[in-house]
Amino acid sequence: MPQTGPIILRVAVPTPLRRTFDYIFPENLLKELDGDLPLPGSRVAIEFGRRTLVALIIEVTDSSDIALEKIKPINDILDSSPILSPDLLKLFVWAANYYQYPIGEALFTALPALLRKGEATELPTVKHWRVSELGLSAETESLDRAPRQKALLQFLKDKTSAVPESDLTGLFSATIRNQVEAKGLIESFLAQHEPQPSSDELLQQENLTLDPQQQVAMDAIELHGFSCNLIEGVTGSGKTEIYLQAIEKVLRYNRQALVLIPEISLTPQTEKRFTDRFNTPIVTLHSGMTDKQRLEAWIKAKTGEAKIILGTRSAIFTGFDDLGLIILDEEHDSSYKQQDGFKYSARDLAVIRAQREDIPVILGSATPSLESLNNCIEGRYQHLTLTQRANNATAPSWRVIDLKTEATSCGIAQSTLDAIQQRLDAQQQVLVFLNRRGYAPALVCHSCGWSADCPKCDSKLTFHRARGRLICHHCDYQQRKPHHCPSCNSKDIMTAGEGTEQSEEFLAKRFPNNEVIRIDRDSTRRKGAMQEFFATADSGKPCILLGTQMLAKGHHFENVTLVVILDADSGLMSADFRSHERIGQLLIQVAGRSGRGKLKGEVIVQTHQPEHPVLDQLFNQGYRPLALQLLQQRQQGMLPPCRPLAVIRAESTYPNQAMELLGLARKLCDQQRGTEPDIQCLGPLPALMEKRAGRFRFILQVTASQRAQLQRCLSAVATQLDKEKLAQKVRWSIDVDPQEL
């Protein structure tokens, strides 16, 4: 572009508007860039309305649809070089278009908060000390008469690299440091970060020798250029070992690796396996970090200082110096899809990113999503399977208990209790899974049938005994537990069903000699609760680990030999089209915690419907046959992944308004059929939970045989809806590839 014309910056601004804005880059700012043109991916400060905002340059051009004299100049350019590489910027633009989300908001919600606020992208500098040239040749004896000074010189001489001042402060006073510095024997300098470990050994722990199945998988993964690999490996089959060895290879080409996992705080063991293996800087990125920590981690990835980045969903948007591999563990996990705001799927973006950056991606799971299985069947992904557990551990055996024919106490069958007793007697650990927190999922009146419902949602209130309250798990509405039935005034109100709080109480009474540790969102609210839990579980001492799906995630406890699934039926009833896939995945994942060590494991499943086709197939044939069958049903039902789906959601305290908006959306979709003949709509329909938090929720399903038609239709409809008055009153959004209806 010639420098003679105006320099127009097309910038993304954090607003809900689905467009970019043009600003002029004033000549006087050129000197800040040493005469260079500003580059896309750099931040600028602009006047927007009456506010000053940080915006990001998407494009630099020399013409605009707006008259030049009307275009405002930017106030300032904040980066001398772009914070986003061209590749990453394109990924953002692609994702904003694909997920029908305003680019400005997409960028600014996915980047570290401090970047949005205009914070510099350099790490703070730290004062370091080292021995000077003179000091290197000087003998420490020359300081014999100043023993502290001599000790300092010797201390620094013993180090192979410079030492941050903070390492010296407790040992040597500032006076001593200054005296030795004045003699020219040591020197200080500012460095951006602490020096890296001096050892050149990449591995600080040896690789395991891969078993034949692992070796086949490892050999099949091409680490140069783009490839997408799905490792379908049963729980405990050693997928992580393959990740570690693939990462090692990539690090040896001096490139970086991005590892995505569903939830870091729940799986400290995973993090530890990476830090134990590699003698290289690893940073983690997750929601529990402060803004400052996040920014620092982000910068370390961007500058290449960190070689391995371990993060949750949003880490897919990290900038890298030279990314060479993406790994996404537990790829079926629904937490990879953001459920509100910018509704992206980190799994799908991982594949897109790998493709654009021409690098390999490895997806791993014991229970792959139907999406990924379908991609394997259609030849887009390489399908690698591990059918055996590594480390000579064997697969656990299943025992199904029919609750229709067995009496229970607190929802636990006698034969289940016996089995637990046996394992505890044999000094082993038992994991009891119940996906319902609280004391009881319902409170009912024995006289009239009244039940405690949430006034704001279509749901029952859960009784939490420790807090003495009824709580809605959907909107957090709370009230005191009534003493009398509000409907008939009877005193005869009682709980129905069991939650983890009640099971904990029961198990503790039933097995008084063993510890019962409960793990759910309530019990882990206390700081340190998770650590205590892991400490006990890892100690191997006989105990009962009781919890919700927080227990299903990738944990490896050697001494757990029995897993009890108290209620396999919850989840079977849901009308969501993914519910059977979900329950299959959850049950297999929970079961996979059993018998991972030397001892063979068992899984006890309690159900009222042992003949249910999903459970029957799962227990008798396993996950893959179930998944293939469910895939066939999706094919017949023209549902994802066999056909692309988007939903337009609307919610309002006035149900009519939400319905009306979606009616309008439907009309707009129907109009699109002139150019996109394959568009089909279903709805507007009430959402699966119609009323939540006082709002009435509706959905419109939109599908097409071709993805491109769906995408064009959605963006046309979004643009038109934006102009509607009603769209300002009703909360609405578009969800592409929704996880739930």
Binding-site ranges for Zn ion (CB under 5 A) = 445, 447-448, 450, 454, 456-457, 472, 474-475, 477, 485, 487-488, 490
**Residue 512 half-sphere exposure toward CB, CA atoms < 13 A:** 1
Torsion of CA 624, 625, 631, 635, to 10 degrees: 150
Pairing of β 323-329 and β 186-191: unpaired
Please give the size of the binding site for ligand ADP, defined by CB under 6 A: 16
Q: Does 547 bind ligand ADP (CB under 6 A)?
A: no
Q: Does 385 bind ligand ADP (CB under 6 A)?
A: no
Considering only CA atoms, which of 633, 653, 654 is closest in space to residue 642?
Answer: 633
Q: Does 692 bind ligand ADP (CB under 6 A)?
A: no
Q: Which does 391 bind (CB under 5 to 8 A by kind): Zn ion, ligand ADP, none?
A: ligand ADP
Cβ neighbour number for residue 576 with a 10 Å cutoff: 14
Q: Which two tokens stand for residue 568?
A: 């396999």
Can you tell me which residue has the tokens 């050149």? 200
Contact region for ligand ADP (CB under 6 A) — 178-186, 206-214, 301-309, 454-462?
206-214
Q: Does 641 bind ligand ADP (CB under 6 A)?
A: no
Can you tell me which residue has the tokens 């530890």? 272
Q: Which does 233 bind (CB under 5 to 8 A by kind): Zn ion, ligand ADP, none?
A: ligand ADP
- DSSP letter (8 states) at residue 358: T
Q: Does 241 bind ligand ADP (CB under 6 A)?
A: yes
- Please select the residue that binds ligand ADP; options are 104, 236, 311, 641, rule is CB under 6 A: 236
CA distance 438 to 498: 8
Contact 409, 506 (CB under 8 A): yes
State the nearest-atom distance from the C-beta of 429 to ligand ADP, in Å: 16
Contact region for ligand ADP (CB under 6 A) — 191-199, 210-218, 337-345, 438-446?
210-218
Contact region for ligand ADP (CB under 6 A) — 29-37, 81-89, 235-243, 431-439?
235-243
Contact 614, 574 (CB under 8 A): no
State the nearest-atom distance from the C-beta of 658 to Zn ion, in Å: 18
Q: How far is CA 64 from the centre of its chain?
A: 39
Q: Does 208 bind ligand ADP (CB under 6 A)?
A: yes
- Please select the residue that binds ligand ADP; options are 14, 38, 135, 238, rule is CB under 6 A: 238
Q: Does 538 bind ligand ADP (CB under 6 A)?
A: no
Contact region for ligand ADP (CB under 6 A) — 128-136, 207-215, 703-711, 716-724?
207-215
Give 203's contacts (C-beta < 8 A, 6+ positions apart).
Answer: 248, 277, 278, 279
CA distance 118 to 429: 51
- For residue 508, the SS3 value is helix
Q: Which does 235 bind (CB under 5 to 8 A by kind): Zn ion, ligand ADP, none?
A: ligand ADP
Question: Which residue of this chain has its Cβ atom nearest to ligand ADP in the complex?
Answer: 238
State the nearest-atom distance from the C-beta of 210 to ligand ADP, in Å: 5
Considering only CA atoms, which of 55, 48, 68, 54 is closest in space to residue 8?
Answer: 68
Q: Give 157 or 456: the residue with its C-beta nearer to Zn ion.
A: 456
The sheet carrying 43-48 orders its strands as 21-24, 8-12, 51-61, 43-48, 76-77
Handedness of CA 585, 588, 590, 593 (dihedral sign): negative
State the nearest-atom distance from the C-beta of 411 to Zn ion, in Å: 24
- Please select the residue that binds ligand ADP; options are 87, 165, 211, 271, rule is CB under 6 A: 211
Query: x/- site string to ligand ADP, residues 339 to 378, per CB under 6 A?
Result: ----------------------------------------
- Three-state SS sequence of 223-269: CCCCEEEEEEECCCCCHHHHHHHHHHHHHHCCCEEEEECCCCCCCHH
Q: Which does 283 bind (CB under 5 to 8 A by kind): Zn ion, ligand ADP, none?
A: none
H/E element, 126: strand 126-131
- Please select the residue that binds ligand ADP; options are 64, 275, 335, 391, rule is CB under 6 A: 391
Angle at alpha carbon of residue 421, lines to 417 and 423, rounded to 5°: 120
Rg of the chain, C-alpha, whole Å? 30
State the nearest-atom distance from the C-beta of 400 to ligand ADP, in Å: 24
- Please select the residue that binds ligand ADP; options are 307, 556, 692, 697, rule is CB under 6 A: 556
| Residue ranges binding ligand ADP (CB under 6 A) | 208-211, 214, 233, 235-241, 390-391, 556
